[in-house]
Amino acid sequence: MLKPYQTIEDVLASPWAQQPQAKRMERTDRVLRSTKLENNIYHDLRAEDTAMDEIERGAREKLRSFPALSQDVFQSFYSLMPRRNNEEALSASARKFNAPILEHITQSEEYPTLKEVCEGRELPAYEAAAEFVSAASDELDELMRQLGGKKDALNTLEKLEQTQEAAAQRLTELLEKYDAAHPDDPSLNRDVIKAANEAESKRRQVEAVTKLIDNSAMQSKEAVGGIVRHALSAASEKAEEVQSIIGAWSNEPGNLQRTPANLALLERVRRSDTLRDISKYLGRFREIFAQCKRNGFAYGRGEKYSLELGNDLSRALTSELAMLATPQTQPLFLRKYQRRQIKQYRRREPIYKGAGDIVCCLDESGSTSGELASWGKAVALALLEIAESDGRKFALVHFSGPGSFKTDIFLPKQYSMEDKIRAAETFLDGGTDFHTPLNEALRLIQEDGFENADIVFITDGECDLSENYIEELRTAQAERHFTVTGVLLDQEDSGMDFSLKAFCQNIYRTSELTGEQVVQGLIANRVS
C-alpha cells in the first residue's frame, strides 16, 4: 500500500504540519467530576467494601475503566448537579463505554425516583451504586460486545489511541527539530516522513475502529438500555431498602449518612427476614405519626374553617343549594353534584388525645404468620414510638393459644434498640385465645403500674368469651376507666363472626378500611 507521504514537502503540506499536535493530554476514566469532599465521601464508603474489591478486580481485567464507572454511578445518584468532564479529556473506554452507560442511567424513567431517594444521602446512594455495578459486572461481556461490536474492540481502541498520541507527539518533536535545522538534514527528513506516515496510519486505524464501535453502539442501543434498566431496577430496590430500614428502625430516621449506628442497623435488619418485612410498614407508620404530631387536627365534623369542592350536601353552601329551588338551575346543580364540584365547607375537629400508657395485645397465632404478623408488629412498634415520644409506658403482650403469651415491657428511656428488635422477632404460633392476653392486660393495669393505660387488641380470629367473663371485664373497665380498641384483620373473610364487640369500645376492621387508614385512626387518637 502506497504511503501517503513520500517527500518532506508532502509532510509540510499536510494537516500534521499545518496544525501541530498539542502535547500529549492526560486522559481520565472519570466521566463525571467530583469535588474533593465528594471524593473523600466515596472513598470512605468504599474503603472496607471487600465485595466491591472483588467485583472491580475481575471487571478491570476485561475493561480498565470499569472501576471508574463505579464512582461515576455513585456520583450520578448522590450529587445535586453532576458535572461532566470534557469529552476530549476522557480515555477511549470511558468515552465509548462508561459515558453511554451513564447516559442510559440518566435518561431512564426510573432515574428521577432513584435520584430523589439517593441525592445527598450517602448510604442509599452508595448501596444503590454498588448494586448497579454488581449487576452490570455480571453482564460486562455482553455490554462490551454490544457497545464495541467485538468483544475486545474497546480495549483495542484504547491501545490504538495511545499509540496514535505517541506517534503524533513524536512527529511534533521531529517537526520542531526540522524547523530549527540549518541546512536541511536528509536523515532528519527521512525521520519526519517516517513519523508522519506512522501517525497517519494510526489515525486511520483509530478512525476505522471508532466507526465500528459507533455503529455497533447505535444498533444495540435498545439491548444496552435493557441491561441498564435491569441493573437500575436492582439499584432502586436496594436504595429503597436502605431508606426503609433506616426510616423504620433508626432513632434518627432522617439521617441517611454513613454512621456506625446506621451501618450496624442495616447489617442487623438484613440478617432477619422478619425485620425486613416489618420495615416495609413501620417506616410509613412513623411518617403518619410525625404528620399527626405536626397537624394535631383531624378533618370531619366540627368547626367550619375553609371551603372545598365535593358533593356532601350536609356541608354545601346555601348559595349552592339554592339552585335546587328553580327548574332552570336544577340541571346545573345536578351536573356539579355528579362532578363533585359543589362548594362546601371543610371542617375540622380537635383530635382526642389519649395521654395514658398503652398495652398492645398482639395475636401471633399460626394464621397471622407472614404479612399479617409483619403488619401487626409494625402497628405495635408505631404505638411504642408514640409512648416513647411522650414518656409513657408501653407493654406488648404477644399471645396465641390458651396460656401462651409473652410480655415485653418498655419503660421510658429504659430500653435499647435490641430490646425492640427482640420483641419484633418474637412469634409464638399456635391457636387463638382471648382470655390469656386480656387477663395479662388487666394484671398490668391493676398490679404493674399501667393503671392509666388503654388497650389495643389486634387479632385475625375469634374466641368465645363467657358472659360472666365479659361482665367482669366491663366492671374492671368501669372501675379503672380504660378503653379497649380492637383491630380485626378480616380482609380475607369480611363476613366472619367475631367477639371483639363484646369488650371493645371501638373496632377497626381491615375489611372496611385500608391498613393505612386503620393506623391513622390508632395514631391520631393517641398523639399528644
pTM for the whole structure: 0.72
15-24, 108-117, 231-240: the lowest-pLDDT one: 15-24
For the cut 60, the answer to whether the pLDDT of residue 484 exceeds it is yes
pLDDT at 298: 43
Element (H, E) at 347: strand 342-350
For the cut 50, the answer to whether the pLDDT of residue 303 exceeds it is no
Across the range 403-420, mean pLDDT stands at: 94
Across the range 292-318, mean pLDDT stands at: 65
The rounded distance, in Å, linking the Cα atoms of 387 and 410 is: 9
Q: Dump pLDDT digits (tens) for 234-287.
A: 999 999 999 999 999 998 888 888 888 888 999 999 999 999 999 999 999 998
Question: Which has more pLDDT, 261 or 360?
Answer: 360
Strand 342-350 and strand 358-363: the pairing is unpaired
Question: Which has more pLDDT, 70 or 320?
Answer: 70
Calculate helix-pair angle for 221-249, 273-295, nearest 10 degrees. 70
pLDDT at 11: 82
pLDDT at 213: 80
pLDDT band of 304, cuts 50, 70, 90? very low
pLDDT at 335: 82
Contact between 345 and 519 (Cβ < 8 Å): no
pLDDT band of 350, cuts 50, 70, 90? very low
pLDDT band of 299, cuts 50, 70, 90? very low
The rounded distance, in Å, linking the Cα atoms of 469 and 447 is: 19
Rg value, the chain, Cα:
35
Q: Dump pLDDT digits (tens) for 485-512.
A: 999 998 876 555 567 888 898 899 888 8
pLDDT above 70 as % of the chain: 92
For the cut 60, the answer to whether the pLDDT of residue 456 exceeds it is yes
Closest CA to 252 of 340, 162, 123, 93: 123
Across the range 9-38, mean pLDDT stands at: 81
pLDDT at 56: 94
Q: How many CB atoms lie within 10 A of CB 167?
A: 20
pLDDT at 375: 96
Arithmetic mean of pLDDT over the chain: 87
From the DSSP assignment, how many helices (H) and strands (E) are in the chain? 22, 8
pLDDT at 455: 95
pLDDT band of 22, cuts 50, 70, 90? low
Q: Which grid cell sits at 528?
A: 399528644
The distance from CA 21 to its chain's CA centroid, rounded to whole angstroms, is: 48
Question: Which has more pLDDT, 464 or 266?
Answer: 266
Closest CA to 296 of 32, 525, 450: 525
